[in-house]
Copies of this chain bind each other. A is one copy, B any other.
Amino acid sequence: MGDTTTRALRADAERSVRAILEAAEQVLAADPGASMEQIAAAAGVARTTIHRRFANRQALTDALASSAARQLAQAVDDGRPDTAPPLVAMHRITANVLQVKSAWAFALSLPAEPGSEAAELQQEVALRCIAVLRRAQESKLIDEAADLDWVRRVYYALIGESLHGGADRDADPDTLAARIIDTLLHGAGPRP
């Protein structure tokens, strides 16, 4: 992981860290300026315990971003981006990412510090994403003249919008994923 200089934590300490990270996600999503006190309360932990594990607020949010980025990268990998048929991969990846992003919306909205683990993972995810899109392009699913970087950004935006959801807040990830892929490939125009 990020820090190889500190030795392994005891089992209960590990549990505390996870509880803190999950509480931070919840609390900071509702109020990005919330105090450590509020986070500690939500985690069922004393404020001093947080400070023992994370020197700064910065250190906490960094860890939060890394943790979430790792889960996101895992979600993409689980979709077999290199081997599954492009359409299948896109669907699976989208559904997986939707779940991770809805659980770690705040952490993934954090601006990745240049050079951080989170930044590297985000970069890796972006590359895998473009790779899938290229395979889709080669399969004639995407126009050969399309700018894949723009397509990727649109894809990200569609995922983000799906999570702001009004009526479909609690909809099935597969249903949402299907709509995202359909919109990405065909837009809103009339069907042939």
Contacts and interface: CB of A to CB of B under 8 A. Distances in A.
A142 interface: yes
A79 B141 CA distance: 34
Given A33-B33, A187-B185, A189-B186, A153 B164 contact: yes
Given A153-B164, A161-B154, A143 B188 contact: yes
Interface residues of A, number: 32
Interface in A142-165: 142-144, 146, 149-151, 153-154, 156-158, 160-161, 164
A183 interface: yes
Interface in A19-42: 32-33
A183 B179 CA distance: 15
* This chain: copies in complex: 2
A190 interface: yes
Contacts of A161: 153-154, 156-157
A190 B33 contact: no
A184 interface: yes
Given A157-B161, A187-B187, A192-B192, 13 more contacts: A32-B32, A32-B33, A33-B33, A146-B188, A150-B179, A150-B183, A151-B188, A154-B158, A154-B161, A185-B189, A186-B186, A186-B187, A186-B189
22 contacts: A32-B33, A33-B33, A140-B190, A141-B190, A142-B188, A142-B190, A143-B188, A146-B188, A149-B166, A149-B167, A150-B183, A154-B158, A154-B161, A156-B161, A157-B157, A157-B158, A157-B160, A157-B161, A184-B187, A184-B188, A185-B188, A185-B189
Interface of A: 32-33, 140-144, 146, 149-151, 153-154, 156-158, 160-161, 164, 166-167, 179, 183-192
